[in-house]
Structure 1
Amino acid sequence: MLITLSNITVFAQQGKEQTNKTELSIEIDPATFALNGFAFHLRIKPKNSEHLLVGLGTYAMDFPSVLIDLNSTNKDKGWDVRLNQGYGLFGEYHFSEVNKKWYVGAQVAVQEFKIQKDFFEGESKYSNILLMGLGGYTLQPFDFPLYFKFWGGVGYTGKIAGENFIGNAEYDISPILIFGALHIGYTL
């Protein structure tokens, strides 16, 4: 009996030691690749943290017209918009454990946009800052650490540099951004 209890204690401590290490995850957003872009994210679960995940990411993509048309001022006006480069810092709190089930979080990002307009020469670039609250669900359906992270968020954005005009046409920058994505990730 004493040997059995000792073995249970040893196995329990080994499991705890495994969860008390720093873990690294990598994520991509496959939709960005389909939209002539990319998205790579690096996430870290700090040692001794069961619920916290922090990270950084870089991303780019061409905006489909459905996203441009969400702002009625720009709808059907011939704008081509590219999120040329974005850099973001992320923080997430997972209610169950990191990269499993429901979570909430925040993102702070700096983004550069390139805009063009039908029947106008040239392009313009502007940069903005994004502050976004987000939430989602992470599904890990396999016995290995591949996961699917569904998320959506609402953010505030404001121009910090550059021009959002081409000729006398102004691309309207909405201060409110609603966005969602599916990330595919793997914990190393």
Structure 2
Amino acid sequence: MIKQILTSALVVLSLSLMGQNETKHQLSIELDPAPFILGGYSVSLKYSPDKTPKIAYMASIYQSDFPDEMLTKANKDKGWKDMKIKTSYATFAEFYLNKERKGFYFGPSVFWYNKSVELETTNSRTEFSTIYPNIRAGYVWYPLRNIDLYVNPWINIGSEINVDSKNEINGIEFESNKLNYILALHIGYSFNFKTNKASR
């Protein structure tokens, strides 16, 4: 699935470059190490056209186990455990203060979670989906001169909302966070492209 997403992103990039005069674009790929450590993955593709150099758009696909220690006390007290984030998605918009697309940025993002969680008292699992709209802020830093490798620490704040009624077993509800935040550190690499449209 990741290979298909990468291929699709390159096709979209190629189409977006057509018909533009002497333009420069930036395509970046980002990885979040945390899900890999937890037995999953997180891959993001980011694109910024030269016509709007202070704006970037990103899409992510990710999957991860979720340690019981990170569950809220309310859900642990109800007997919930072993939450898994199945294949899920996110979209982002980033607004920078400079045309180099470096330093501080902010913008909205939306996460779509597909979750699976077990209720210990019944030894059964349920699967449900939530949506998490949020506001995000971060900082893109290129630590190595002449190498387009960067680190991107960020934080977001929002509210997670259930989109179905499958987040319960025997009337015991798994509660989503009404006020939530995420801290993350992405590692990325950027590629710059120039295109020339042949004159007629």
Q: Same fold (TM over 0.5)?
A: yes
Residue 165 of structure 1: aligned partner: 168
How many equivalent residue pairs?
A: 169
> Which structure is richer in relative contact order (CA contacts within 8 A, separation 6 or more)?
2
Matches within 5 A, 1:32-181: 32-69=35-72, 72-76=73-77, 77-142=79-144, 143-181=146-184
User: Structure 1 CA distance, aligned partners of 2:71 and 2:101?
Assistant: 31
Q: How far is 1:73 from its partner?
A: 1.2
How far has the Cα of 1:124 moved from its partner?
A: 0.3
Q: 1:183 to 1:98 in 2, by over 3 A?
A: farther
RMSD of aligned Cα (Å): 1.9
* 1:129-173 deviation digits (Å, cap 9, x = unpaired): 111101011110112110000000101221112511133432111
What whole-Å deviation, never above 9, does each CA across 1:44-70 have from its counterpart, x for those lacking one? 01122221110211111111234213x
AA partner of residue 90 (structure 1):
F
Preserved CA contact (<8 Å) 1:152 1:179: yes
SS at match of 1:36: coil
Aligned equivalent of 2:33: 30
What letter is aligned with 1:83?
Answer: I
Taking only the aligned residue pairs, the percentage that are identical comes to 27
Which amino acid letter does the alignment assign opposite residue 188 of structure 2? Answer: G
Cα pair distance change 1:43/1:98, threshold 3 Å? farther
The CA distance in 2 between the partners of 1:67 and 1:176, in whole Å, is 15
Q: What corresponds to 2:13 in structure 1?
A: none
Distance, in Å, in 1 between the alignment partners of 2:26 and 2:134 is 25
100-109 or 178-187: which moved more? 100-109
8 Å contact 1:53–1:98 — kept in the other structure?
A: no
Q: Which moved more, 1:149-158 or 1:160-169?
A: 160-169
Distance 1:29 1:130, change over 3 A: same
Structure 2 alignment gaps of length 5 or more: 1-20, 192-200
Q: Is the 8 A contact 1:99 1:139 kept in 2?
A: no
Letter in 1 for 2:85: L
Residues 34-91 of structure 1: CA distance to partner in whole angstroms, max 9, x if unpaired?
Answer: 112111100001122221110211111111234213xx31245442211112111110
Rounded Cα–Cα distance in structure 1 between residues aligned with 2:100 and 2:69: 33
**Structure 1: gaps (5+ residues):** 1-16
